[in-house]
């Protein structure tokens, strides 16, 4: 179970705001966005000021909303660069960022600055790409985060827990938006059984 230090802390008299970083990561369909939305909604219920960002390229379900695969949603601000978040997060207590793997590695410095300024920063993103390699700023963010939650999907081949996102086509580019028609959640065994390093080189 995830403890929510911000909410406990806000009850302490004279408590100074202490910032921190939370990372929610895993494969596609593992519930990252659901978990991000859950944490942000609870912060809203606690009357905290919440700002939510996603990369502007992620237009899959909605241009503005962060939307989970099971249709939960929350309003967000799409931004092009991680540095935009620094400019727009000014008045918030809590900053949520979805699809963080698509941001440049500047997101690591931005998250550190926001947390050092007393904000709770909650980041959701893919830890690995379709080749099973670390994705963008996520590994670096996991390194500097106080809390890291790895969530897992269900393997579409065998029903075990899945940590990998298997791409169903031969497309080689790292960034390729898609859902069930383009990717399957897979466990380690089922991912590597069908992974062809030459095809994916
Ligand atoms: N293979 C799968 N394993 C688990 N959940 C799945 C799978 N395929 C579809 N889903 C749906 O995806 C939802 C999670 O969506 P979401 O939070 O958007 O995941 P993520 O952001 O990690 O891609 C689940 O609650 C479930 O309804
Ligand atoms: C593995 C992998 C995924 N993507 C894309 C596909 C989706 O649009 C997002 C991930 O969304 P989710 O909320 O985690 O399901 O990322 C990609 O561009 N490259 C990849 O290697
Ligand atoms: Zn499997």
The whole-number pLDDT of residue 11 equals 54
- Ligand 2 probe mutation, 103, 183, 185, most atoms within 8 A of CB: 183
* CATH code that applies to domain 17-152: 3.40.50.300
Catalytic residue status for 133: no
CA of 132 to the centre of ligand 2 (A): 12
Name 53's bridge partners.
77, 97
Q: Which pair of structure tokens corresponds to residue 154?
A: 């269900």
**Residue ranges covered by each domain of the chain:** 17-152
pLDDT beneath 70: ranges in the chain: 1-16
Prediction ipTM score: 0.99
Measured distance CA(108)–CA(83) in Å, rounded: 10
Check if 65 has its Cβ closer than 6 Å to any atom of ligand 1: no
The whole-number pLDDT of residue 192 equals 97
Give residues (CB < 6 A) around ligand 2.
Answer: 28-29, 32-33, 60, 126, 129-130, 165, 174-178, 183
Measured distance CA(69)–CA(57) in Å, rounded: 17
Per residue in 69-85, pLDDT (tens digit) is 888 888 999 999 999 99
């Amino acid at each position: 179970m995830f403890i929510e230090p911000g909410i406990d802390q806000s009850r302490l008299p004279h408590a100074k705001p202490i910032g921190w970083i939370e990372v929610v990561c895993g494969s596609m369909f593992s519930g990252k966005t659901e978990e991000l939305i859950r944490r942000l909604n609870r912060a809203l219920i606690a009357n905290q000021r919440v700002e939510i960002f996603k990369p502007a390229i992620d237009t899959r379900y909605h241009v503005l909303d962060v939307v989970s695969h099971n249709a939960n949603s929350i309003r967000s601000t799409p931004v092009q660069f991680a540095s935009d978040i620094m400019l727009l997060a000014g008045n918030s207590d809590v900053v949520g960022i979805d699809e963080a793997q698509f941001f440049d590695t500047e997101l690591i410095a931005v998250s550190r600055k926001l947390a050092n300024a007393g904000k709770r920063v909650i980041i959701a993103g893919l830890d690995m790409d379709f080749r099973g390699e670390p994705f963008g700023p996520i590994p670096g963010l996991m390194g500097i985060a106080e809390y890291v939650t790895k969530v897992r999907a269900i393997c579409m081949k065998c029903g075990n827990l899945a940590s990998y996102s298997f791409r169903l086509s031969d497309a080689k580019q790292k960034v390729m938006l898609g859902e069930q028609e383009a990717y399957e959640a897979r466990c380690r065994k089922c991912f590597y059984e069908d992974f062809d390093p030459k095809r994916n080189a």
